[in-house]
């Protein structure tokens, strides 16, 4: 039985629902990143207070690479699994660790068996491959596990044969990930690779969707290619994935990226941007993004975003936030993270409502226009959006 | 009319109530320290969720020295005053800045007018004296202002004439602080100095309580003297203060210090210990204090304190907290601060109940015995506590 239910569509945009062992997830959905067993800066209680029409995120992401090294898989198990350890009783998706391992490329050795790498924490040698990536994710207690893949860099300078070789190995490893499963209560998603090459993406989509995965991810994007390239590839690839399964665009992205790719039929996203930018004083608003370190905010008694209903905007001024940042108070990160995650969750809640209402593309054009980033809104399948 | 109402006593211990422009404060009370306009690591909402029988602190402390330098008094005013800026609608006590300025002693010049000092932030020269300390505290919107005093070091090596000269200047400045007031809606406390010398303390108490202050503080303790010396001096000095006014022991202390000094008749305390220790992984429990960095906690699924009802102890294990510390996650500071402040507030709520119940000294002996720090419980006025 599929974990995904497609409720309605507006053009290519899909309004759906995922069922996991830790609750239902309304899609399209943005998943906050909780790399080391915590969404940086917020307690689980604060996460559930984010609201934005959702009472907080229904799913967050954990990073297998980080958790296997610290505190270590056995420690997470001893502490009751990732949910119990982190005090989070909603759904968790874990990546396979592949992406992080490949970002250590100078100290990795890749064979058909898997990857040997050195820990960024203590320099110790560790191995990760399809079987161990599944075993670790099962031990963590992940609701949605990701297949272990090989992620080549994307971009114009990368030889096609390298991208193809990584893709083909990803396909072989995908099969081994499925065979390595020992639990039936959680889900496993396959990952389509192929860089920004349409032929390779088509080959990869065919190979991966041929396997009995519970959902399909578009990997290997947002790794250096241009925004246009990324959007084109996401649009092309999403259209190759089955209607019956959830579609997850990994590691993406800006508010514009999310709105565009929902318009291409993507259901799930994760990105460190709202949380990382928050800690660096960069905050999102309905009329464009702000840097709170700008001196003009020093005595500004207004909130980050007058249109925002979050706890931070309801209670604190730009001037106070700037003071907290200059004074290096950790409350700064908490309050800006609260706001940025609220912005993302609220945006996705609005996207779900506008898909249901049938005016998704017109709404996106309006949101993008007000934010003023110069992004071109996605055209609906019937051509460019009408007057609204 | 006095801001203080004495409700009942148990021996010297006092159960009372302070009325401020931002609400009622039940005493004895511990005031969390919010140096730079935030209790480090917690949102105001989290503070009000601390509970411990109190629904969070009814009063917190702000530091004039820090706030006048950053963001600056005028910026705080532009942002609506300290309450509005920090999103805190309960009471705030501000110190006068004197203590911090004197801790910069190598770069201070003291005259009868006041103190010239260099900012620890940018090295700029600044002046602070009785008149400006009151003006700044009024501008911040403090509910309880503190007189500007001269704090000499305490301890065995300090010449008596130095302690006496600082005390006498404190008395002259006290009068000037009262004369500098322009508001009538808030309170001003005088500070008794005199080091650990009983004669000087008696002279200072007489001089300061002769002035029309709204409350009286015992200053110049917890600055290097032994615990026994501090307790003796607090006991001696508290007994010299009028029954009709609140008594505040500044900068104190450990749980044992608080319990002992409540037993000597002190009503109010502040200290960075619960918040600072929390960030350094040192947490308080009913059976003694813990260092969460100890490797033995690595896979411990139990809470910091099985007897504790705080959010942290109800949801997170020692093993998880240790992981957060090692991973340098700011959530660590938030969760341990939450616990330590809960411990302090809960302890003071229990102290209030036991004063009301008339068994304060027996209860203190029991609490101190279980914590095992070797402190000698205060004897009630009728001699050592009975069998309980």
CB burial of B7-22 (b: ≥16 within 10 Å; e: otherwise) equals eebbbbbbbbbbebbb
- Helix (H, G, I), strand (E, B), or coil: what is residue B29? strand
Interface test with B, best of A139, A279, A323, A336 (most B CBs within 10 A): A323
Residue B167 belongs to some domain of the structure = yes
Number of domains in chain B: 1
**Which of these ranges, A277-286, A375-384, B75-84, B330-339, has the smallest mean pLDDT?**
A375-384
The pLDDT value recorded for residue A296 is 98
Residue A330 to chain B, least CA–CA distance (Å):
6
Check if B267 is active-site.
Answer: no
Which chain B residue shows the shortest CA-CA distance from A72?
A: B323
Closest CA to B7 of B261, B357, B264: B357
Q: What is the DSSP string of B140-196?
A: HT-SEEE--------STTS-HHHHHHHHHHHHHHHHHHHHH---SSSEEEEEE--TT
Residue A243 belongs to some domain of the structure = yes
Which chain B residue shows the shortest CA-CA distance from A295?
A: B71
Which chain A residue shows the shortest CA-CA distance from B77?
A: A299
Closest CA to B36 of A312, A280, A329: A329
Q: Which residues of A touch B320 (CB under 8 A)?
A: 37, 79, 85-87
Asked whether the bond before B250 is cis by omega within 30 degrees of 0, the reply is: no
Q: Pick the catalytic residue: B95, B143, B214, B267?
A: B95
Q: Are strands A4-10 and A13-20 parallel, antiparallel or unpaired?
A: antiparallel
Burial classification of residue A388, based on how many CB atoms lie within 10 Å of its CB (0-12 exposed, 13-18 middle, 19 or more buried): exposed
Q: Which residues of B touch A (CB under 8 A)?
A: 36-38, 40-46, 66, 70-71, 74-75, 78-80, 85-87, 298-299, 301, 311, 315-317, 319-320, 322-324, 326-327, 329-331, 333-335
Q: Which residues of A touch B301 (CB under 8 A)?
A: 78-80
Contact flag B323-A75 (C-beta cutoff 8 Å):
yes
Residue A57 belongs to some domain of the structure = no
Contact flag A335-B43 (C-beta cutoff 8 Å):
yes
Interface test with A, best of B320, B325, B328, B337 (most A CBs within 10 A): B320
Q: Pick the catalytic residue: A95, A143, A149, A267?
A: A95
Q: What is the DSSP string of B276-339?
A: HHHHTTEE--TT--EETTSGGGTT--S-S-TT--SHHHHH--HHHHHHHHHTT-HHHHHHHHHH
Which chain B residue shows the shortest CA-CA distance from A38?
A: B331
The pLDDT value recorded for residue B387 is 39
Residue B107 to chain A, least CA–CA distance (Å):
22
Candidates A301, A324, A330; nearest CB to B330:
A330
Q: Which residues of A touch B (CB under 8 A)?
A: 36-38, 40-46, 66, 70-71, 74-75, 78-80, 85-87, 298-299, 301, 311, 315-317, 319-320, 322-324, 326-327, 329-331, 333-335
Q: How many whole angstroms separate alpha carbon A20 and alpha carbon A54? A: 17
Alpha helices (H) along A141-267:
160-180, 198-209, 227-238, 255-263
Residue A136 to chain B, least CA–CA distance (Å):
17
Q: C-alpha B11: how far from its chain's center?
A: 23
Q: Does the pLDDT at position A386 exceed 80?
A: no
**Most distant CA atoms of chain A, gap in Å:** 60
CB burial of A68-81 (b: ≥16 within 10 Å; e: otherwise) equals bbbbebebbbbbeb
Share of chain A above pLDDT 70, in %: 95
- Could you report the per-residue pLDDT of A140-164, keeping only the tens digit for each? 999 999 999 998 766 677 889 999 9
Contact flag A319-B42 (C-beta cutoff 8 Å):
no
Neighbours of B289 (CB within 10 A): 16
Contact flag A71-B316 (C-beta cutoff 8 Å):
no
Residue A384 belongs to some domain of the structure = no
Closest CA to A16 of A274, A232, A245, A343: A245
The pLDDT value recorded for residue A101 is 86
Which chain A residue shows the shortest CA-CA distance from B329?
A: A40
Q: Which residues of B touch A315 (CB under 8 A)?
A: 44, 87
Q: Are strands A268-270 and A282-283 parallel, antiparallel or unpaired?
A: unpaired
Residue A84 belongs to some domain of the structure = yes
What is the CA angle A260-A261-A262, rounded to 5? 95
The pLDDT value recorded for residue B386 is 41
Residue A271 to chain B, least CA–CA distance (Å):
18
Contact flag A79-B41 (C-beta cutoff 8 Å):
no
The pLDDT value recorded for residue A1 is 63
Domain holding B24, by residue range, is: 4-278
Q: Pick the catalytic residue: B214, B270, B305, B325?
A: B270
Question: Is the alpha carbon torsion for B123, B129, B132, B133 positive or negative?
Answer: positive
User: Between A51 and B379, where is the model more confident?
Assistant: B379
What is the CA angle B327-B328-B330, rounded to 5? 125
B290 has which bridge partners? B283
Which chain B residue shows the shortest CA-CA distance from A39?
A: B331
Contact criterion met (CB below 8 Å) for B221 and B250: yes
With 0.90 as the threshold, say if the pTM is over it. Answer: yes
- Tens-digit pLDDT string for chain B (388 aa): 689 999 999 999 999 999 999 999 999 999 999 999 999 999 999 999 987 666 899 999 999 999 999 999 999 999 999 999 999 999 999 999 988 888 876 667 889 999 999 998 998 999 999 999 999 999 999 999 999 999 876 667 788 999 999 999 999 999 999 999 999 999 999 999 999 999 999 999 999 999 999 999 999 998 888 999 999 999 999 999 999 999 999 999 999 999 999 999 999 999 999 999 999 999 999 999 999 999 999 999 999 999 999 999 999 999 999 999 999 999 999 999 999 999 999 999 999 999 999 999 999 999 999 999 999 999 887 654 443 3
List % helix, strand, coil for chain A (3-state, nearest 5). 40, 20, 40
Q: How many whole angstroms separate alpha carbon A232 and alpha carbon A255? A: 17
C-alpha separations of B280 from B62, B302, B336 in Å: 21, 20, 9
Q: Which residues of B touch A320 (CB under 8 A)?
A: 37, 79, 85-87
The pLDDT value recorded for residue B108 is 74
Q: Identify how many contiguous H helices and E strands chain A contains and give both numbers.
A: 15, 16
Residue B331 to chain A, least CA–CA distance (Å):
5
Predicted-complex ipTM score:
0.95
Query: Token pair of A126, please?
Result: 């560790």
Candidates A44, A75, A316; nearest CB to B319:
A75
Q: Does the pLDDT at position A254 exceed 90?
A: yes
Q: How many whole angstroms separate alpha carbon B120 and alpha carbon B107? A: 10
Contact criterion met (CB below 8 Å) for A33 and A92: no
Residue B122 belongs to some domain of the structure = yes
The pLDDT value recorded for residue B128 is 95
Q: Does the pLDDT at position A16 exceed 90?
A: yes
Contact flag B330-A40 (C-beta cutoff 8 Å):
yes
- Could you report the per-residue pLDDT of A208-251, keeping only the tens digit for each? 999 999 999 999 998 888 999 999 999 999 999 999 999 999 99
Residues A182-195 have a mean pLDDT of 96
C-alpha separations of A293 from A321, A330, B35, B81, B153 in Å: 9, 15, 21, 21, 39
Q: The domain spanning residue A79 has which CATH number?
A: 3.20.20.105
Contact flag B327-A299 (C-beta cutoff 8 Å):
no
The pLDDT value recorded for residue B385 is 45
Q: How many whole angstroms separate alpha carbon B356 and alpha carbon B342? A: 21
Residue A357 belongs to some domain of the structure = no
Contact criterion met (CB below 8 Å) for B32 and B338: no
Q: How many whole angstroms separate alpha carbon B192 and alpha carbon A228? A: 71
**Most distant CA atoms of chain B, gap in Å:** 60
- Could you report the per-residue pLDDT of A70-94, keeping only the tens digit for each? 999 999 999 999 999 999 999 999 9
The pLDDT value recorded for residue A383 is 54
Residues A105-119 have a mean pLDDT of 85
Residue A135 to chain B, least CA–CA distance (Å):
20
Q: How many whole angstroms separate alpha carbon B359 and alpha carbon B355? A: 6
Contact flag B317-A40 (C-beta cutoff 8 Å):
no
Check if B270 is active-site.
Answer: yes
Q: Which residues of A touch B327 (CB under 8 A)?
A: 36-37, 66, 70
Contact flag B70-A315 (C-beta cutoff 8 Å):
no
Candidates B41, B44, B79; nearest CB to A330:
B41
What is the CA angle A269-A275-A277, rounded to 5? 110
Residue A60, φ and ψ in degrees, nearest 5: -125, 170
Q: pLDDT-derived band of residue A380, with 50, 70 and 90 as boundaries?
A: confident
H/E element holding B203? helix B198-209
Query: Token pair of A125, please?
Result: 């040698």
Count of all residues that appear for chain A in the document: 388
User: Between A136 and A383, where is the model more confident?
Assistant: A136
Contact flag B36-A317 (C-beta cutoff 8 Å):
no
The pLDDT value recorded for residue B1 is 63
Residue A19 belongs to some domain of the structure = yes
């Amino acid at each position: 039985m599929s974990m995904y239910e497609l409720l309605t569509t507006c053009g290519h945009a899909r309004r759906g629902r995922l069922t996991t062992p830790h609750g239902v997830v309304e899609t399209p959905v943005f998943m906050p990143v909780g790399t080391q067993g915590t969404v940086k800066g917020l307690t689980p209680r604060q996460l559930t207070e984010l609201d934005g029409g959702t009472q907080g995120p229904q799913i967050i992401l954990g990073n297998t690479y980080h958790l296997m090294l610290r505190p270590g898989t056995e420690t997470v198990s001893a502490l009751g699994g990732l949910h119990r350890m982190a005090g989070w009783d909603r759904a968790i998706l874990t990546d396979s660790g592949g992406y992080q391992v490949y970002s250590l490329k100078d100290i990795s050795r890749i064979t058909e068996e898997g990857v040997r790498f050195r820990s960024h924490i203590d320099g110790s040698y560790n191995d990760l491959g399809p079987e161990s990536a599944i075993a670790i994710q099962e031990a963590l207690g992940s609701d949605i596990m990701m297949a272990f893949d090989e992620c080549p860099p994307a971009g114009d300078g990368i030889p096609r044969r390298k991208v193809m070789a990584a893709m083909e190995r990803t396909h072989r490893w995908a099969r081994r990930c499925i065979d390595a499963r020992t639990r039936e209560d959680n889900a496993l998603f396959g990952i389509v690779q192929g860089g920004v090459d349409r032929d390779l993406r088509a080959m990869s989509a065919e190979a991966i969707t041929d396997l009995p995965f519970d959902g399909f991810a578009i990997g290997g994007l947002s790794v250096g290619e241009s925004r246009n390239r990324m959007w084109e590839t996401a649009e092309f690839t999403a259209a190759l994935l089955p209607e019956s399964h959830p579609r997850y665009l990994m590691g993406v992205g800006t508010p514009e990226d999310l709105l565009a790719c929902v318009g291409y039929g993507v259901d799930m996203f994760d990105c460190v941007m709202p949380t990382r930018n928050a800690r660096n004083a960069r905050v999102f608003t309905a009329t464009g993004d702000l840097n709170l370190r700008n001196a003009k905010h020093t005595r500004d008694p207004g909130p980050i975003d007058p249109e925002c209903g979050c706890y931070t905007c309801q209670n604190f001024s730009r001037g106070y936030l700037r003071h907290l940042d200059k004074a290096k108070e950790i409350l700064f990160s908490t309050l800006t993270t609260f706001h940025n995650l609220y912005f993302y969750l609220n945006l996705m809640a609005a996207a779900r409502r506008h898909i249901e209402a049938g005016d998704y593309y017109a709404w996106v054009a309006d949101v993008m226009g007000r934010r003023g980033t110069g992004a071109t809104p996605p055209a609906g399948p019937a051509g460019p959006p009408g007057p609204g």
